Amino acid sequence: MEFISVEYIQIDTQDCFGLPEKPFIIFGAVVSHTRAIGRTLCYFQPSEQNQYLSIYPTKLVLPSQFGTCPVIQIKEFTSVRDELIDNSDVNMIIPMKVPDDTKLIFQANCTNYPSMLDKVVHTSSSNLKIQILFDPANSAASDVTYQFVISSYVLGPSYNCPSDTFRCWDAATNCIPDSLTCDTIANCHDGSDENGYLLSIFGLILLVLTIVFVIRKQRKHKRKTEQTWIDMTTQPSAKAHQCKSIICNNPNQLLIYSER
């Protein structure tokens, strides 16, 4: 079986191959519709077996036109099976691969698309594939707009993600690959992989600088204290200094003291 493996892609649904046995294997993807209208099928799979997929639309306009109702469906599935497509001609029976055991996890159409905008869905198990089907129902290309963000992630211990991953702030256990952070795409639904990741880095830098500042200040204070102690032990007292000054200024004073 041949797969198309990429870390991150931006793809127009018109460029999808529509083959469930050849899904895009991804860390993340942005899937959109921008060109000529037509029924499309796209297939995606996480890059690692322990990864899940999260999907949510950032743009979604599917108005009814001339009595037709465009629809987008996202289904998860585990495997593919062979199916014969009957064109009512016994000589034209075409074998093809189709998804097996599909489960609908997202559907938007002309009646509910406003409420489905920004709705997040997840695959129910790790390593499941997804199918994105778009049926324009004869709508004009300029009438429909949609864009989906797909992200792979692993489930980590609560608030403690594995190395080389980033925990989305809106999910205690969803850990996306570090490669999806700071790429201008909100792979975390709350956008924390963009602004939160930077804040984490800045926070770490600030913490390091603070520690360095405190250590330097402590060392400086310690050196100052040690120098003060050295000065106190090596310099004569004020009284001794006064006596020395008297003797130096009046040498005869020493004789007086001696006679006494």
**Strand blocks (E) in the chain:** 4-5, 8-12, 24-26, 28-33, 40-46, 52-61, 71-77, 79-85, 94-100, 103-109, 121-122, 129-135, 145-155, 165-167, 174-177
What is the structure's pLDDT at 54? 97
Residue 186 near residue 147, CB atoms below 8 Å: no
In this predicted model, which residue has the larger pLDDT, 72 or 118?
72
Average pLDDT over residues 198-218: 58
Instruction: Give the alpha-carbon dihedral of 248, 249, 253, 255, to 10 degrees.
Output: 50
170/189 Cα distance (integer angstroms): 8
Question: Beta partners for 33?
Answer: 146
Does 255 score more than 50 pLDDT? Answer: no
Does 257 score more than 60 pLDDT? Answer: no
- Percent of the chain whose pLDDT exceeds 90: 44
- Which of 198-212, 215-229, 241-255 is predicted most confidently? 215-229
What is the structure's pLDDT at 172? 80
Average pLDDT over residues 37-60: 93
Confidence of residue 187 (pLDDT cuts 50, 70, 90): very high
The DSSP line for 219-235 is: HHHHHHHHHHHHHHHHS
In this predicted model, which residue has the larger pLDDT, 48 or 35?
48
176/28 Cα distance (integer angstroms): 9
End-to-end CA distance of the chain: 116
Confidence of residue 233 (pLDDT cuts 50, 70, 90): low
3-state secondary structure of 133: strand
Burial profile 103-120: b = 16 or more Cβ within 10 angstroms, e = fewer? eebbebbbeebeebeeeb
225/209 Cα distance (integer angstroms): 24
Which residue matches tokens 């790429």? 183
Residue 22 near residue 43, CB atoms below 8 Å: yes
Which whole-number Å values give the CA distances from 193 to 47, 52, 135, 183, in the listed order?
19, 17, 32, 9
Residue 130 near residue 25, CB atoms below 8 Å: no
Average pLDDT over residues 160-182: 90
Q: What is the pTM of this model?
A: 0.71
Average pLDDT over residues 143-154: 94
34/143 Cα distance (integer angstroms): 11
Residue 174 near residue 54, CB atoms below 8 Å: yes
Q: Using DSSP bridges, classify how beta strands 79-85 and 52-61 pair: parallel, antiparallel or unpaired.
A: unpaired
